[in-house]
Structure 1
Amino acid sequence: MSHDAERRVADIADRLAATAADSERLGRLSDESVALIREAGVMRMLQPTEFGGRAAHPREFAEAVMAVAAHCGSAGWVCGVGGVHPWEMALMDRRLQQEVWGENQETWIASPYAAQGVATPMEGGYILRGRWNFSSGTDHCDWIFLGALVGDAEGRPAQPPRVLHVVLPRSDYTIVDDSWDVVGLCGTGSKDVVVEGAFIPDYRTIDADEVAEGERAAERAGRTETVYKLPFWAMFPLGITAAVIGIAEGALAAHLDYQRERVTAMGTKIRDDPYVLYAISEAATEIAASRTQLLDGISRLYDRVDAGEQVTFADRSIVRRNQTRCAWRAVDAVDEIFARSGGNAARRSGVLQRFWRDAHVGLQHAIHTPGSIYHSTALTSMGVEVPDGPLRKLI
C-alpha cells in the first residue's frame, strides 16, 4: 500500500472498528462509518483525477480495501464493491460523469451488475423494469449501475442475449428496506432495488462485453490512464476478494489477541500448546499467500497493459482462477483458527465470530464460484480454445 493510503486507513482504523457493531445492528453502514471512509478517501481511489480522484494503481486500491475490512468486514465489503464503480464511471459518457460528480465529488454509486431487469429500446434510450438483489451500500449512494438484458418490442429479453450496464439516479429506483436479513456482512445493507419503467438515455448505458474487454471501452471514452484499460472481470472481483482477504486478516488478528492469554478448561496455556500454535502459523501463511497471489495477479495485468501488450482471454482466466482460489484459501484458514478458539469465541460480545460470519457470506458471491472458472482455465492452460457460452462468463 502507498504510504498515503496506508496512513489514511491507519488514521481511521480504531474508530472504524468501533462502528462495526452499530453497522451490523442497523443492517447498513452507520453514518459514522461512512464519514470515516470518506475521510480516508478509499472510495475515490479509482475515480478520475479531474473529479477529485486518484486514478490509483489497482493494487493500492486492493490493499486499502483489505486494511478497511480487517477492522470492519462490512465497511471493507462496501469499499471493495462500491470503490470499483468510479472506475467504470470513468468509461462512461462525460455528460454522465458530470451529472454524477459535477456538484459533489464524494457521490457514491451502487450496483448490482446481474442482468435481473429488461431494457426495452425506444427512441433515445431504453425503458427499464426489474428487481435486483444485493445492492451493497445502497442507502448511501445517489446513483446506481444495473445490469439489464436488452429487450424486444414486447419487453422480453431479445435473442441472442445482450447485456447492458445502465446508470440511474436515486429518484428512478426504489430500495426495498426489509430485503437484507442475513447472518454475515449485515452492515453492508445489500438490499434489493426495484425499477418500474424508468427511462434510461443512451448516454447512460454501456455494453457489458465492451467493458469486459477493457481497452476498447477506455479508447472510446478517451481514457489514456493504464488503470482504465483493464478488463472489468479483473477489476470488479479484485475489490470483492480483497474484502474477503482483509476480513480473514482481521479474524487472524482477533484470534491472536484472544489466544495470547487464554487458558483452556484443562489448565493449559494456549501459548504452551504446540498443536494450536502450529494451526495458527499454518492459517497465517495461507492468508498471507492469498494476499500475495491476489495482488500479483492484478499487478501482472496492469504491467502488461502498461507496456502496450494485449491481455488475452487466457491471461484473464488465470487471474480469475487465482483470485477465486485466494478467497477460498483465506476462508478455509479462518475456519481453522475459529475451530481452535474454544466455545467463548462464539459469543456475540467478541469480534472473532463476526469476522467468521462475514468471511463465509463474502465467499457466497458469484465471483467466488470456482466450477466454470477452473474448467475454463484448465482448457486454456492446455491450449484448447474455449467456446463462446457459459465457460467464458465472468472472465
Structure 2
Amino acid sequence: MDLTSELVSAARETGALAAQRADRAEAARRLDPEVAGALVAAGFARHFVPKACGGDEGTFLDLNRAVSAVGEGCTATAWCASLSAHVSRMAAHLPAAGCREVWADGPDALLVASLTPLGTARRVPGGYRLDGTWPFVSAIDYADWALLAAMVPAEDGGQPQARVLAVPRDAWRTEDTWQSVGMAATGSNSVTVEDVLVPDARSMSREDLFTGRAADSDAPCHAVPMQATTMMFATPALGAAKGALAAWTGSVTPKIRAAAAAGPRQAHAGMPAFNRASYDVTLTRSATEIDAAELLLERAARTADAAGALSPLLTMRNWRDCAMATESMVGVVNRLFRTIGTTGQSVRSPLQRFWRDVNSLAGHQGLQVESASVAFSRQVIAL
C-alpha cells in the first residue's frame, strides 16, 4: 500500500497525538484543541476544496488511507477528520459566489454539517430566513461554517423542498447536549439558528447535493452521489479495528511469552489450561477480516475516484460495501474485547475505548445494513 502522500503521513502523526490526548478529550466531550488544530494542519479540511478556492480537489483513496491512519489512534478524531473533508466536498456544490465566501480566508476553514432537514427556511428577497435546531453536529466547537438542511415551504402551495444552507460561526448558538457512552470526544452538540438571513449564493438543493450535481464545479470529486461516499462514516471503523488489534496484541503477547517460558503445566481441577491456539485463532480471524474490510473500502474509494458518472448500481454497491465492512469491524472489535481478558478491559486500556466507539459509530443511519441492502437489491432485482 502506498503511504507516501503528505496527508497520510501527517495523519499518522495526528493519530498518535490524538491517542495521547484521548482520555482528556473524552472527559471534555470534545476534541483536544491541539488535536483539532493538527487535523486542519494535516490537510483534511482542504482535501476536497475546489482548486479555485485554494484547495486540493483530492482523491477518496488518499482520504480513506489518511482517516484510517488517524483512527488507529482515536476513532472519534478520525470521525471528525473524515467529516471535515467530506463536508467541504459538500460545500463545493454551492454556487461559485458562495464558495468564494466560505473560503474567503483560505481553504482550511473547518466545516460541519447536519443534512437532516430539521429547520425551516422561509423565502425572502435575495435568500432565506433560517430557523431551527440540529442535534449531533460533530466538531461544532471548532467549526468556522455549518451546512444545515431545512425545509422550504412551496410558494404555490405544493410540496416543500429541502435545501442546505451555509451559515458562519457567528450565526448559530451551540447547545451542550452531547452525552454519549461512545464517540464521546466528537463533541457532537446541538446547533440552534434563529431567523438568520442566508443569501441565495450560500444555499443549494439537497437533492442536487445527494445526486452529485455541483452548481459550478466540474471536478470529478464533486460529481459523486452521496450514497457512494459512505466511506466518510465507515473508514473510522477500519482505523478503530486496526487500533484495537494492536492494543489486543500488545496485551496478550506477554501472556503468551510467559506461558511459553513456563512450559507445560497441569491445570488446577476444574480450570482450563492455557490454550495458545485460542489466541492464534483470534489474531488470524481478526487480521484477515480487517484486511477484507480494507479491500472493500479501497474498492469503494477507487469507484468514487473513477472518472465519469457513477451508475446507480455502483453507487449502491459502494453503500453496501461500506455498511458491510463496518458490520464486520464491529464483530472484530467485539471479539478482541471479549478475548483480551479482564486486565485488557480496564478503563486504562485503549481497547475498551475502541470497543465503545466502534459500536456507537455503527449506529449511524448511513451504515445500516438493512437500508443498504434494500437499495442494492433494488438495483440488482428490477421490480
- The normalised TM-score by structure 2 is 0.90
| Structure 2 partner of 1:184 | 182
Partner of 2:356: 357
2:196 corresponds to 1:193: no
Counterpart secondary structure, 1:35:
helix
Q: Residues 59 and 287 (structure 1 numbering): CA distance in 2 closer, same or farther, change over 3 Å? A: same
CA 325–71 in structure 1, closer or farther in 2 if over 3 Å, else same: same
Residue identity opposite 1:201 in structure 2:
P
Q: Which amino acid aligns with 1:256?
A: T
Partner of 2:7: 5
Q: Is the 8 A contact 1:259 1:270 kept in 2?
A: no
Match of 2:347?
348
1:259 equivalent in structure 2:
252
Cα pair 1:135 1:191 within 8 Å, conserved? yes
Partner Cα distance (2:345, 2:155) in 1 = 55
Amino acid at match of 1:302: D
Give the aligned partner of residue 213 of structure 1. 211
Shift of 1:225: 2.3
* Amino acid corresponding to residue 170 of structure 2 in structure 1: S
Partner of 2:224: 230
1:318 match: 317
Deviation at 1:113, TM superposition (A): 0.9
Q: CA deviation at 1:143?
A: 0.7
C-alpha separation between the residues in 2 aligned to 1:119 and 1:239? 27
Identity of aligned residues (%): 24
Aligned-partner SS, 1:84: helix
| Alpha carbons 1:110, 1:137 under 8 Å: kept | yes
Residue type of the partner of 2:354?
F
Counterpart for residue 277 of structure 2: 274
**Cα distance change on mapping 1:361 and 1:192 into 2, 3 Å:** same
Answer whether contact 1:111 1:135 (CA < 8 A) is retained. yes
Residue 54 (1) aligns with residue 75 (2): no
The counterpart of 2:236, out of the listed 235, 240, 243, is 243
Aligned residue number for residue 83 of structure 1:
85
Provide the rounded CA distance (Å) in 2 between the counterparts of 1:195 and 1:38. Answer: 25
Runs of 4+ in 1 over 3 A off after TM superposition: 263-272
* Superposed displacement of residue 293, structure 1: 0.3
Give, in whole Å, the separation in 1 of the partners of 2:288 and 2:274.
18
SS of residue paired to 1:111: strand
Aligned partner letter, 2:240: I
1:346 deviation in Å?
2.2
Distance 1:230 1:251 in 2: 32
Q: Which moved more, 1:47-56 or 1:16-25?
A: 47-56
Q: Deviations over 1:161-192 (max 9, x none)?
A: 42111111111111102x00110111100001
Aligned length: 371
Q: CA deviation at 1:97?
A: 2.1
- Is the Cα contact below 8 Å between 2:119 and 2:130 reproduced in 1? yes
The answer for the alignment partner of 1:30 in structure 2 is 32
- TM superposition shift of 1:93: 2.0
Structure 2 unmatched ranges of 5 or more: 260-266
**Cα offset, 1:151, TM superposition:** 2.2
The correspondence for 1:144, drawn from 137, 143, 146, is 146
Distance of 1:140 and 1:269 partners within structure 2: 52
Q: Which residue of 2 aligns with 1:69?
A: 71
SS at match of 1:24: helix
How far apart are residue 159 of structure 1 and its match? 4.9
Structure 1 unmatched runs, 5+: 385-395
Structure 1 contact 71–250 (Cα < 8 Å) conserved: yes
Matched with 1:379 is 378
Q: Secondary structure at the match of 1:127?
A: strand
User: Counterpart amino acid of 1:260?
Assistant: T
User: How is 1:289-300 mapped onto 2 (pairs within 5 angstroms)?
Assistant: 289-300=292-303
| Correspondent of 1:301 among 294, 301, 304 | 304
RMSD after superposition: 2.4
Alignment-derived partner of residue 127 in structure 2: 125
Aligned to 2:41: 39
TM-score, reference length from structure 1: 0.88
